[in-house]
A = this chain, B = another copy of it.
Amino acid sequence: MEVSKSVIRRLPRYYRALGDLLKKDYSKISSKELSNIMGLTASQIRQDLNCFGGFGQQGYGYSVKELYQEIGEILGINKPLKTILIGTGNLGKTIAEHIEFSYNGFELIGLFDNNDRVIGQKIANLEIMDINNIKKFCIENKPSVAVLCIPKKAAENIAPILINSGVKGFWNFSHYNLVLYYDDVIVENVHLDDSLMALAFGVNSKINK
């Protein structure tokens, strides 16, 4: 099934909004109501959901629970992906502790660092392992996703090892532009610095207007 990237981008927002509605005991919702909550037009919402076969019924709306489960299935949240995290500095540590991996369809199975002082310590119930053992670990445990919380150069060095060991997806906090060099991997970049700079630009434009 080929679905446009912008629809996929919106699916987590649908999933989140529907999860909120479930918690508030909503059983059904119209595209109009959903559009108010999400800030999209009702026709946009109908279009988006039609991409996946359209679960709504004319004059009734959508079953919140069914739609929630269906989107969860589409996102693959019900079958957690084995995931490793590399780099347990400030950022990596927070990511490991803070993000609810299991809620989002991932299972964190290994942490790696190259710093002797942290190897052996525990974060999120996992012991930090030596980066030198990562190849062996990947071959034995077959993680399909790696979270990169390391500098650009380190990411560049570790990427081929991971990809050759079967890693298919990257949650990339490093500034290494993976997709430039590997075209057969799925990459989600989180460039916090870039986001900050875009904000600076926006606010400065506003102030100086």
- Complex CA–CA separation, A100 to B18 (angstroms): 36
Chain B residues with CB below 8 A from A197, complex form: 11-12, 15, 75, 77, 104-105
What is the distance, in angstroms, from A144's C-beta to the closest C-beta of chain B? Answer: 6
Task: Give the residues from 4 to 20 in chain A that come closer than 8 angstroms, CB to CB, to chain B.
Answer: 8-9, 11-13, 15-16
A144 near B203: Cβ-Cβ < 8 Å: yes
Chain A interface residues toward B at CB < 8 A? 8-9, 11-13, 15-16, 38-39, 74-77, 79, 81, 90-91, 93-95, 97-101, 103-106, 144-145, 168-171, 175, 177, 179-180, 186, 188, 190-207
A94 to B89, CA, bound (A): 10
Report yes or no: B91 in contact with A196, Cβ–Cβ below 8 A: no
Q: Is the CB of A79 within 8 A of B204?
A: yes
Task: State the majority secondary structure of interface residues on A.
Answer: helix
22 pairs, A vs B, C-beta closer than 8 Å: A8-B198, A12-B198, A16-B194, A39-B179, A75-B197, A76-B201, A79-B204, A81-B200, A81-B203, A94-B94, A95-B192, A100-B193, A103-B193, A105-B204, A106-B196, A144-B203, A169-B202, A171-B199, A186-B203, A188-B199, A190-B190, A190-B195
Interchain CB contact under 8 A, A201 and B8: yes
Whole-angstrom CA separation of A79 from B200 in the bound complex: 9
The CA-CA distance from A132 to B99 in the complex, in Å, is 28
Q: Most chain-B Cβ atoms within 10 A of its Cβ — which of A9, A11, A194, A206? A: A194
For residue A38, which residues in chain B have a CB less than 8 angstroms away from its CB? 177
A43 to chain B, nearest CB (A): 18
